């Protein structure tokens, strides 16, 4: 089984979240947070900060980055491990990139029908500042089975 590690970050306010419309590559024509493959010689946080900057021109300081948990995706041939972050304090001017067209959405208006089909099961937890751990098995781009756990420290 081939494993790839990714980051995914959601920039949010109290009731809005910033998504990007993916213009090319894996997941194209879907809305999602910003992120991508982890590179060698970078920490997971560094990867999240780098991908956000590359795709949106926004800068988030490490101390404003919140690690929310991990989502694992399995299909017949791949395991994708996605490290989820949120941040509410960012700097820089939001810009469209070659890869992403950014847009703010109210929490009540998130385009789940135009996102990965798993997002609806776990993104609400992230938006409500809950930590999570989730696992999805995909078969032919459809969810075959899944498990989502909220993991808050009490
Ligand atoms: P390249 O073009 O190689 O530079 P890169 O930006 O490194 O691409 P990319 O865009 O392929 O990586 O990363 C995919 C993004 O989509 C990551 O942020 C992880 C995320 N992702 C992958 N599968 C997902 C899924 N089923 N549900 C989801 N996000 C997913 O919500
Ligand atoms: Na990406
Ligand atoms: Na990348």
Average pLDDT (35-41) is 97
The predicted-structure confidence for 2-20, as pLDDT tens digits, reads as follows 999 999 999 999 999 999 9
Residue 83 CB–ligand 1 contact under 6 Å: no
Model confidence pTM above 0.95 = yes
Given this model, what pLDDT does residue 154 score? 62
The closest-lying atom of ligand 1 relative to the alpha carbon of residue 55 is: 6
pLDDT tens digits along 95-154? 999 999 999 999 999 999 999 999 999 999 999 999 999 999 999 889 999 999 999 876
What is the Cα Rg of the chain in Å?
15
- Using one digit for the tens of pLDDT, what is the confidence trace for 44-88? 999 999 999 999 999 999 999 999 999 999 999 999 999 999 999
Q: Which domain holds residue 71?
A: 2-151
Atom of ligand 1 minimally distant from the CA of 116 = 27
Closest Cα to atom 17 of ligand 1:
36
Phi/psi class of residue 14: alpha, beta or left (left: φ > 0; alpha: ψ in -120 to 50)? alpha
Pocket flag, ligand 1, residue 47 (CB < 6 Å): no
The CATH code of the domain that includes 59 is: 3.90.79.10
Instruction: Please tell me the distance from the alpha carbon of residue 57 to that of residue 51, in angstroms, as a whole number.
Output: 9
pLDDT in the model for residue 35? 98
Number of domains in the chain: 1
């Amino acid at each position: 089984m081939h494993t790839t590690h990714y980051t995914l970050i959601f920039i949010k306010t109290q009731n809005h979240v910033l998504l990007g419309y993916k213009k090319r590559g894996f997941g194209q024509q879907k809305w999602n947070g910003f992120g991508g493959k982890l590179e060698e010689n970078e920490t997971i946080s560094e990867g999240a900060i780098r991908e956000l900057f590359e795709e949106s021109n926004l800068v988030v300081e490490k101390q404003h980055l919140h690690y929310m948990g991990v989502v694992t995706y399995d299909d017949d041939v791949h395991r994708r491990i996605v490290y989820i972050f949120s941040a509410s304090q960012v700097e820089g001017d939001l810009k469209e990139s070659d890869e992403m067209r950014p847009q703010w959405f109210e929490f009540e208006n998130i385009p789940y029908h135009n996102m990965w089909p798993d997002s609806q099961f776990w993104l609400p937890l992230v938006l409500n500042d809950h930590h999570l751990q989730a696992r999805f098995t995909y078969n032919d781009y459809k969810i075959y089975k899944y498990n989502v756990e909220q993991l808050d420290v009490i």
